[in-house]
Structure 1
Amino acid sequence: MDMKLELVAVPVSDVDRAKEFYVKVGFNADHDKVVTDDLRFVQLTPPGSACSICIGTGLTQMKPGSIEGLQMVIADADEAHADLKARGIEVSDVDDQPWGRFVYFSDPDGNRWSLQELPDWSTGAGGDGTNPYVADDKA
């Protein structure tokens, strides 16, 4: 049985401010529907992603800013860093790790995101999936 993650709720305190932020990051604004006075559904999708996020009112009981570890895979951390800075997004320096190169940012409520450039040995980056540290018993 296939299971595909297609929507993740992200809790925010100000829907319009959050929508503006995510569009500025580069997400596509797919839907914005006020269903009732207590329910607004906004769906946003990162470019190239099959999974979207939703923000709004009446969608979740999570506290705004409580999401950590949302992660997207990117082709080039330096390029992503430069692009986000050019868009006026506060972004970390590129963080080089053996398992990838990362760039971090947070939305206005403090929900935290990481962007990962996969390491060359990763099958996701076109490699053969062989972790270079296994042979050295460092894994």
Structure 2
Amino acid sequence: MDWTLEVVLLPVADIDRAIEFYRDKVGFSLDHHTVNEHMNIAQLTPRGSGCSIVVGNLPAQSEMEPGSLRGLQLVVSDANAAREELLSRGVEASEITVFDKRDGGTFFGFSDPDGNTWAVQELKVRAEKPLIPRDVRTGSGAK
């Protein structure tokens, strides 16, 4: 049986600010934003990912301090290009660090407005072998 990680709850102080940051600056696709008498939640997915983040006011999120998640990890095929894309959109990103010259040893990081931190790892193999093949992707984030 497969067990897939598909959603990570991200604690934020301001849902609209988080949507703007992750959609407009980081480039995640906004899958849905649901506001009703029971909830205000938004699900956003990185392009090419099978896992999304959810920001909102779900009970589990209210148990977490905004900005308390550390070291969430994204993977890209080109760290330099990814970092430049974030910088061009106004996201502060750390310098690139090469811990190991082999594929997978290059990283940089960034934080969201609440202080949740992200590590971005370069795996060049993802250019030729994405986890989700481009021809089977659906939705607005498919490329």
Does TM, scored on the shorter chain, surpass 0.5?
Answer: yes
* 1:78-97 pair list within 5 angstroms: 78-97=80-99
Please give the root-mean-square deviation of Cα atoms over the aligned residues, in Å.
1.7
Please tell me whether Structure 1 or Structure 2 has the larger radius of gyration of its CA atoms.
Answer: 1
Please identify which structure carries the higher helix content. 2
In structure 1, C-alpha distance between the alignment counterparts of 2:86 and 2:127, rounded to whole Å:
22
Residues 18-63 of structure 1: CA deviation (Å, up to 9, x unaligned): 1100012100001100132x52110000011010000011342111
Bigger RCO of structures 1 and 2 (CA < 8 A, at least 6 apart): 2
TM value normalised by structure 2: 0.79
Please identify which structure carries the higher strand content. 1
In structure 1, C-alpha distance between the alignment counterparts of 2:30 and 2:67, rounded to whole Å:
20
Q: Which structure 2 segments of 5+ residues have no match? A: 129-143
Letter in 1 for 2:93: V
In structure 1, C-alpha distance between the alignment counterparts of 2:11 and 2:69, rounded to whole Å:
7
Spell out structure 1 runs of 4+ moving beyond 2 A: 123-126
Please name the residue that 1:129 is paired with: none
Residues 85-124 of structure 1: CA deviation (Å, up to 9, x unaligned): 1111000111111151111000000000011003x7xx76
Aligned residues: 122
Over the matched positions of the two proteins, sequence identity in percent amounts to 50
Please name the residue that 2:116 is paired with: 111
